[in-house]
């Protein structure tokens, strides 16, 4: 259901009526309106709203969303007199709108207003409003626009006319087969080879049985070409040849290194095959390991899953914001020699679900801050809940509701932005069976971080990619999407994001200000650029109040962690050895890299304030550790807690794109806690 003029969008949520009424109350209730809402069964039907008032102004709104006009709306507001601009303006502020400008219309004594509607329950969108004097009643008709992609439909631009393109990526069909590789017909037959597989006898013939068979079909050309190309099977190297006399149009050899046993190595195999498929514009691919005899049945399942995941992620390109987006052609992948049957099919389906969630997370991080506002992020979360409403529910808290919960730390960060904060809480509960474990995943959700009054300046400040500062929330919401599809039993999971922007204005917090978190602890802000921990403080308190047993928070928190561990490894901080073991076991399956860091309690001395309970930053030394110690102050001692600093691996600086880091590990961890 869409309310285009206000930018309100919701699809088939259990509490649609309540959300819509709450949104309209912000504008209509102060003016004494009565309204009735007819909800649509789907987003193609018309929705009606009737507003009644004794004397009214008529506002005509024309908005654009997803690249086209949604609707023109006309309705009447009961304002006492035209000159009461302050009252109109106050209602716009209640609705989360900011005025861009107004001017009189010649000869009519009217106002022409241009506003941005950004707050409450609605998605940001640009609106033009004309205020006219007209008494009486009015019937307001809203017509829904066609849906765009899952991401695009909730991302309404607020600046620059930017809209993500509606790209429907082709779904890759995976099949597990046990056939002779010589019999397979298609575009590319890709063979994963180790350095040992590439060894040749004294006659320069392959000793590996699969390579020997393929080379025989090709009259020795495969061995000859590998020698000429000096291809030895090293990791990261590949060779793709277009050769006659074979069922496939091309044969590719993909290097796996000296050995290949980890999920990460087989995921890289899938990524390399995807790269070859893109280059050749291939529709169909088969993947086989030159040596798979030594793999156990369990290893074959995980290997096939990793290959499938790597292929999906490798073929994907985020071209939504390019004027000429490209569409990959690959739609069929056969995995040969790793078995068949329902268990393997289930594992391939799991890989598809997790990969889809990783792509979702990547698109969230890749989206610029003028598109992915806190309201848009909240709408994305609501869309996940509505898509899997049998197991997921959404509760989006407004700034007013956060004030009632005394979230002074979070709201202090949000105070400077024209885009209002949105506190996101999704809850996963299986549709049946008992709950044995309650978990919380908390993600940092800064859709943009300017640094505040301690503005990011100078070389290495990375202000140009501060749209990535919501990478933790992308991991959390991506995990929610995957778990909504997988539906594990016996576990309840809370997904929590305190989303906002860290900007600069006269209403913003200043260095030296003292703010109070929702657990009553006071914080002297000695650096406004250490804002993520301030938002997480109230989010962690909120998570503990949900009665959870374990909490994992994820945040692009410190540059210090990148300095310590580089761009590919996330830092892990936890006082719980048991929780650390669980997460690291999950990471072995996902292939993502983590390293446990110390929680050195003596470093807390640098975080003490002379006038408050603590400051929000310590010295330069051990910055990632003191940040983790700060977060620890807001976690109940009875709850097992882990902080993951993913500032490095959330972003691929070479390709200038997001990685979707953390999602696969979080899903595996939740499944390990499932009965």
Active site residues per annotation: 456, 533
Give the DSSP per-residue string, 139-192: EEEEEPPPP--TTGGG---SSTT-------PPPPEEEEE---GGG--EEEEEEE
Instruction: Find residue 43's DSSP bridge partners.
Output: none
Burial of 191 (0-12, 13-18, 19+ CB in 10 A): buried
Residue position matching structure tokens 């309100």 = 8
Q: Which helix (H) or strand (E) holds 448?
A: strand 437-449
Residue position matching structure tokens 């650390």 = 580
Asked whether 591 and 655 are in contact (CB, 8 A), the reply is no
SS (H, E, C) 651-663: EECCCCEECCCCH
d(Cα 392, Cα 369) in Å, to the nearest integer? 27
d(Cα 154, Cα 375) in Å, to the nearest integer? 9
Helix (H, G, I), strand (E, B) or coil at 598: coil
Q: Where are the beta strands (DSSP E) in 15-163?
A: 34-38, 46-52, 57-65, 68-77, 97-105, 110-117, 125-133, 138-143
SS (H, E, C) 210-229: HHHHHHHHCCCHHHHHHHHC
Q: Give the dihedral sign, CA 156/161/164/167.
A: positive
Taking CA atoms, 199 is separated from 191, 194, 214, 336, in Å, by 15, 9, 15, 22
Residues near 555 by beta carbon (within 8 Å), at least 6 away in sequence? 443, 444, 471, 472, 532, 533, 536, 643, 644, 645, 646, 647
DSSP 68: E
d(Cα 605, Cα 434) in Å, to the nearest integer? 44
And the tokens for 602?
């003596």
d(Cα 205, Cα 200) in Å, to the nearest integer? 5
And the tokens for 126?
């640009």
**Strand arrangement of the beta sheet that strand 68-77 belongs to:** 68-77, 57-65, 125-133, 110-117, 97-105
Residue position matching structure tokens 């040969």 = 336
d(Cα 344, Cα 301) in Å, to the nearest integer? 6
DSSP 95: T
Helix (H, G, I), strand (E, B) or coil at 119: coil
């Amino acid at each position: 259901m869409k309310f285009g003029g206000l930018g309100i969008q919701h699809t088939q949520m259990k509490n649609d009526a309540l959300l819509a009424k709450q949104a309209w109350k912000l504008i209509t209730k102060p003016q004494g309106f009565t309204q009735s809402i007819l909800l649509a069964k789907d987003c193609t039907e018309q929705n009606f709203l009737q507003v009644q008032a004794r004397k009214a102004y008529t506002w005509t709104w024309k908005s654009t969303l997803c690249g086209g006009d949604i609707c023109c709306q006309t309705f009447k507001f009961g304002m006492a007199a035209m000159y009461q601009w302050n009252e109109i303006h106050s209602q716009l502020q209640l609705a989360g709108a900011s005025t861009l400008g107004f001017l009189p219309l010649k000869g009519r004594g009217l106002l022409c207003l241009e506003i941005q509607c950004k707050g409450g329950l609605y998605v940001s969108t640009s609106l033009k409003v004309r205020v006219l004097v007209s008494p009486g009643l009015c019937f307001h008709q809203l017509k829904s626009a066609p849906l765009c992609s899952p991401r695009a439909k909730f991302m309404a631009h607020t600046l620059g006319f930017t809209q993500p393109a509606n790209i429907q990526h082709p779904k890759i069909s995976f099949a597990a087969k046990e056939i002779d590789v010589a019999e397979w017909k298609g575009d590319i037959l890709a063979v994963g080879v180790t350095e040992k597989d590439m060894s040749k006898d004294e006659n320069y013939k392959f000793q590996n049985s699969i390579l020997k068979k393929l080379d025989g079909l090709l009259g020795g050309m495969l061995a000859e070409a590998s020698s000429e190309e000096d291809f030895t099977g090293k990791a990261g190297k590949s060779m793709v040849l277009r050769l006659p006399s074979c069922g496939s149009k091309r044969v590719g050899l993909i290097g796996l290194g000296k050995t290949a046993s980890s999920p990460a190595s087989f995921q890289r195999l899938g990524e390399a095959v995807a790269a070859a498929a893109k280059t050749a514009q291939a529709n169909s691919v088969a993947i086989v390991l030159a040596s798979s005899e030594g793999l156990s049945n369990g290893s074959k399942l995980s290997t096939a899953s990793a290959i499938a995941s790597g292929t999906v992620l490798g073929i994907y390109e985020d071209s939504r914001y390019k004027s000429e987006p490209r569409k990959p052609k690959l739609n069929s992948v056969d995995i040969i020699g790793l078995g068949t049957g329902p268990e393997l099919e289930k594992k391939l389906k799991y890989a598809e679900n997790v990969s889809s969630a990783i792509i979702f997370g990547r698109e969230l991080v890749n989206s610029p801050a003028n598109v992915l506002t806190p309201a848009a992020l909240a709408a994305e979360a609501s869309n996940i809940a509505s898509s899997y409403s049998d197991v997921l529910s959404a509760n989006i808290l407004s700034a007013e509701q956060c004030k009632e919960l005394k979230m002074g730390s979070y709201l202090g960060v949000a105070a400077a932005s024209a885009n209002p904060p949105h506190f996101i809480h999704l809850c996963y509960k299986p549709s049946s069976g008992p709950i044995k474990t309650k978990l919380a995943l908390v993600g940092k959700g800064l859709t943009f971080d300017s640094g505040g009054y301690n503005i990011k300046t100078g070389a290495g400040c990375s202000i140009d990619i501060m749209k990535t500062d919501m990478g933790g929330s992308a991991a959390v919401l991506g995990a929610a999407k995957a778990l909504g599809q997988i539906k594990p039993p016996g576990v309840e999971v809370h997904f929590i994001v305190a989303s906002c922007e860290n900007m600069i204005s006269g209403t913003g917090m200043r260095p030296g200000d003292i703010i109070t978190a929702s657990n009553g602890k006071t914080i002297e802000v000695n650096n406004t650029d250490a804002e993520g921990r301030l938002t997480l403080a109230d989010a962690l308190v909120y998570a503990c109040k949900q009665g959870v047993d374990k909490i994992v928070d994820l945040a692009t928190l410190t540059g210090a962690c990148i300095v310590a561990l580089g761009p590919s490894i996330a830092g892990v901080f936890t006082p719980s050895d048991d929780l650390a073991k669980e997460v690291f076991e999950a990471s072995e399956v996902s292939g993502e890299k983590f390293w446990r860091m110390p929680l050195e309690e003596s470093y807390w001395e640098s975080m003490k304030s002379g006038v408050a309970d603590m400051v929000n930053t310590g010295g330069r030394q051990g910055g990632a550790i003191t940040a983790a110690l700060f977060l620890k102050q807001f976690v109940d001692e009875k709850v097992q807690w882990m902080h993951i600093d993913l500032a490095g691996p959330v972003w691929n600086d070479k390709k200038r794109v997001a990685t979707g880091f953390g999602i696969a590990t979080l899903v595996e961890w939740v499944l390990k806690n499932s009965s």
